[in-house]
Chains A and B, each alone.
Chain A
Amino acid sequence: MDEQKRIEFEKELNSLRRDILLMLYEAKSGHPGGSLSAISVISYLFLNVMRFDPANPLWEERDRFILSKGHAAPALYAILARVGYFSPKLLKTLRKLGSPLQGHPDSRKLPGVESSTGSLGQGISIAGGIALAGKMEKKSYNVYTLLGDGEIQEGQVWEALMAASQFKLDNLCIFIDNNGLQIDGPVSMVMNVDPIADKLRSFNLATMEIDGHNPDEIENAFEFFKSNKGKGVPTGIVSHTIKGKCVSFMENKSEWHGVAPSKEEVEKALDELGCIESLEDWLTEGITWER
């Protein structure tokens, strides 16, 4: 990746992290840790890889993204607003009564949300079904899904992987957001899922491990997926990430799985991201800044 593209991507990413923090601060509940670990891959996907048209959300040929770890909804909402599915002002309504920005994504309420998710283990099956429909209809679209590493403790995930291989879904790219933590503590302590990559390989997925915060490696992962198309195998990417990425006091802390930041905490976090001034804009106007 050339330097210019990298700088621009990091800048975008920083704005999205800011949006996630502000949204959660406003909502007073939600999931910062897993949103911040996942946003790097999700934002790269939307900004550089997927074909879609916010003016025509149901365009048949669009690529699809299913957030299987639905609790990272703030990450999804931040990027959907960024690419133009809805006004960034809506971000202020997260988790409030009547808002289309439900605590977990709801396809019936918000354009750009391909399927409701949130109940862990189900999104990957739904993504598989969409990929299977694409194969059946000989459509060229790709289906991307992102799961948590704790999520893969759900048996349904392995049922879905078996089916993805059985039906040769090489239009399906499965990311595991491997931040190593779940609500009750380290994944390895709660219910170990390692070695994830070996497990994916043994389920006949073309598998790759990446640093899920390194733009070059994220780019490589999508190149890898592209190179597997036509080979009849689904792609699995184990994305090594940091829960709470870029906020020092949230990083690698399972306590930050499902707690919103206080005023002081959000100030500290925004300060670390270099955008403390955005808090004032947010509190007064909603998001009014130019990107």
Chain B
Amino acid sequence: MGKVEKKKLEMQATRDAYGKTLVELGTENHNIVVMDADLSASTRTELFAKKFPERFFNMGIAEANMIGYAAGMALSGKIVFVSTFAIFATLRPFEQIRNAVAAQNLNVKIAATHAGISVGEDGLSHQAIEDVAILRSLPNMHIFIPADSVSAVKIVKEAARINGPVYIRMSRPKTPIIYDETYEFNAGQANILIDAPEARVAMLATGNMVYEAMVCGEKLRSEGIPVIVVDVSSIKPINKELIVSVAKRARLVVTLEEHTIVGGLGGAVCELLSEEYPTKVMRIGINDVFGESGTPSALFQHFGLTAEHIYRKLIKELR
């Protein structure tokens, strides 16, 4: 069993792409308003705040109220981006998001950063690993997870175009750039990154796990094991046709996410395939436990989310 090699790629954080894209959007569209809950430096909304101070509102450390004010702004015709860490943007004000935003189908874009365990050293209180699961249960909600900073730009732009609520899940650390500028994004999108007519395994990955899946997929392919790797960037709506067609061509489906295995991408894929094309699904993610402190890379090792860990797990499973 050889070592999994990682190619050196250019790195950028999805939140950096978000901050820059907001400024671009704000220049084009004067209806765009941004709110933050005292984390504008971290979420990068400070770039927008500097450029358009009259359209930026720091709501203080009061996320439930921020969602309500955003709903009021949206009811007044604004497109509102609200940002803070994912855990405070979704888990704390969930009921506000449900009743004020989703139920009224309002133009509030919850653009959260610092999702998942890649927050790192701050530990479990700051690591949202349940956000996709809870938001996925809401009618009208869109959920998009960029795999890199290039897709983050396109996703943020698509969120502004959509009429209705959107959740964008972004991360703290710099991550490898896997797409080039030709990348386009639409709601419901999933991209096949590595393909095979008949595969031993299909890896459906989202967010930061897309890169790990690609690295693992290349390694398996180099060893003669046919694989499919898909970036499921739109969790809701999810690309039913593509996922079913991939499941039909693979003996095993594996989901990969920096999120609890309960109710996120893994949950969505299991729900879908159990009804449309029953297939064995292996869910890789945070295995129904909370996170803890550590560097992002130490945590990815600890929770078995690196390409190396996934490779070993799959080899064992495929043997």
Contacts and interface: CB of A to CB of B under 8 A. Distances in A.
Interface residues of A, number: 31
A106 B104 CA distance: 8
B72 A126 contact: yes
Interface in A165-188: 166-167
B100 interface: yes
Given A116-B104, A122-B68, A125-B69, A163 B75 contact: no
Contacts of B96: 119, 122, 125, 156
5 contacts: A116-B103, A127-B72, A129-B69, A129-B75, A133-B72
Interface residues of B, number: 28
A290 B62 CA distance: 49
A129 B72 contact: yes
B57 interface: yes
Contacts of A227: none
Interface in A118-151: 118-119, 121-122, 124-134, 136-137
A19 interface: no
A160 B62 CA distance: 9
Interface stretch (A32-40, A107-115, A207-215, A229-237): A107-115
Nearest to B103: A116
The B interface is mostly helix, strand or loop, or mixed, namely helix
Interface of A: 106-108, 114-116, 118-119, 121-122, 124-134, 136-137, 155-156, 159-160, 162-163, 166-167
Nearest to B78: A133
Contacts of B77: 133
Given A116-B100, A122-B100, A159-B65, A128 B72 contact: yes
Q: Which 3 residue pairs are nearest across A and B when measured between Cβ atoms? A: A129-B72, A125-B68, A133-B76
Given A162-B60, A162-B62, 17 more contacts: A115-B72, A116-B104, A119-B96, A119-B99, A122-B99, A124-B68, A125-B67, A128-B69, A129-B75, A130-B75, A132-B73, A133-B72, A134-B76, A136-B33, A137-B76, A156-B62, A156-B64
Nearest to A134: B76
Nearest to B93: A156
Interface in B36-74: 54-55, 57, 59-60, 62, 64-65, 67-74
B112 to A, nearest CB: 19
A132 B65 CA distance: 13
Given A125-B69, A125-B72, A132-B72, A116 B57 contact: no
B105 interface: yes
A131 B74 CA distance: 12
Given A133-B77, A133-B78, A159 B70 contact: no
A114 B75 contact: yes
A133 B77 CA distance: 9
B223 to A, nearest CB: 55
Which residue among B57, B72, B74, B95 has the maximum number of chain A CB atoms within 10 Å of its CB?
B72
A60 to B, nearest CB: 8
Contacts of B99: 116, 118-119, 122
B105 to A, nearest CB: 7
Given A107-B104, A119-B99, A122-B100, A129 B62 contact: no
Contacts of A127: 72
